[in-house]
């Protein structure tokens, strides 16, 4: 294990793959001769500590033990949480890591997240625990709503992967969903992902606004285009629209978002 400690610390996937192929134990432990806080570390723990996501993925695929505890009682989940690595936390939770195990000092992973102000991780763990208990969170947490506004795709998708509902409303934002918040701020990449995951384009905010209305009022033409195309057949030619479509308001909204109305002739009273 000592020879492969460097590979794990550096995120060297080929080196670790070769070592495992040569009959290395995936759950072998290592004690650092330099750092007395590192006792009984596994490859997974080292990868979590250093934030090497590709190596974490490899080790999870190879069925590394999720819940082994080091000499201080910390698990891979606690270690990744204590270092604020929300993407790895999400991976471990999805793989089935236990959230109830405690380090000798600091408590559970949730305790560490709360103590260190890692709000995204707090919500990942809480949402995962609720989903594991058979209950889905019925609201969009403020911190995830904030991530949606900023277009932080990874954080929103991680929350959803941990059990969040794609159309959960945020009470502080008039019941807006993540899709609405992404639309309001022109976050095209996040809008695309949420649409792929089945986010409702018909959901309404407390004021009656739909995602399309919100995007149009914000003049986010790219988002309007995404929403219109999502609701149209694959053969629909968005760029060929030359007149309003009977019974459909999308053209009017697209016209508003495009800014073409600014140069339209002004009607004067007779």
pLDDT in tens, 40-63: 789 999 899 999 999 999 999 999
Angle at 46 between CA 41 and CA 49, to 5 degrees: 120
**How many Å apart are CA 56 and CA 8, to the nearest integer?**
9
User: What are the residue ranges of CATH 1.25.40.20 in the chain?
Assistant: 1-134, 136-260
> What pLDDT was estimated at residue 210?
95
> What pLDDT was estimated at residue 268?
44
What CATH class is the domain 136-260? Answer: mainly alpha
What CATH class is the domain 1-134? Answer: mainly alpha
- Asked whether the CA dihedral 76, 82, 88, 93 is positive or negative, the reply is positive
> What pLDDT was estimated at residue 138?
86
> What pLDDT was estimated at residue 266?
45
**How many Å apart are CA 14 and CA 108, to the nearest integer?**
33
Angle at 89 between CA 148 and CA 153, to 5 degrees: 20
- What is the mean pLDDT of each successive set of 10 residues along the chain, which is 270 residues long? 51 70 76 67 91 93 94 95 97 97 95 98 97 88 98 98 96 97 98 97 95 94 93 59 46 52 46
**How many Å apart are CA 45 and CA 76, to the nearest integer?**
5
> What pLDDT was estimated at residue 185?
98
pTM: 0.80
């Amino acid at each position: 294990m000592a020879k492969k400690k460097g590979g794990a610390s550096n995120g060297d996937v080929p080196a670790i793959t070769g070592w495992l192929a040569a009959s290395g134990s995936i759950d072998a432990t290592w004690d650092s001769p330099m750092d007395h806080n590192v006792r009984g570390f596994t490859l997974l723990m080292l990868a979590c500590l250093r934030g090497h996501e590709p190596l974490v993925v490899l080790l999870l695929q190879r069925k590394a033990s999720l819940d082994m505890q080091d000499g201080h009682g910390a698990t891979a989940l606690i270690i990744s949480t204590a270092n604020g690595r929300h993407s790895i936390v999400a991976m471990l939770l999805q793989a089935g890591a236990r959230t109830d195990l405690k380090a000798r000092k600091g408590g559970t992973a949730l305790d560490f997240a709360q103590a260190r102000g890692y709000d995204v991780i707090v919500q990942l763990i809480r949402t995962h625990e609720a989903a594991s208990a058979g209950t889905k969170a019925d609201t969009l947490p403020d911190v995830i709503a904030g991530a949606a506004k900023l277009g932080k795709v990874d954080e929103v998708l991680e929350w959803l992967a941990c059990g969040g509902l794609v159309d959960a409303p945020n009470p502080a934002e008039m019941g807006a969903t993540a899709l609405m918040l992404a639309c309001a701020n022109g976050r095209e990449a996040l809008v695309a992902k949420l649409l792929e995951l089945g986010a409702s384009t018909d959901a309404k905010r407390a004021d009656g606004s739909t995602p399309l209305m919100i995007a149009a009022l914000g003049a986010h033409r790219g988002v309007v285009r995404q929403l219109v195309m999502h609701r149209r057949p694959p053969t629909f030619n968005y760029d060929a629209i030359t007149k309003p479509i009977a019974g459909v308001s999308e053209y009017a909204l697209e016209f508003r978002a495009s800014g073409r109305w600014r140069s339209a002739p002004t009607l004067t009273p007779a």
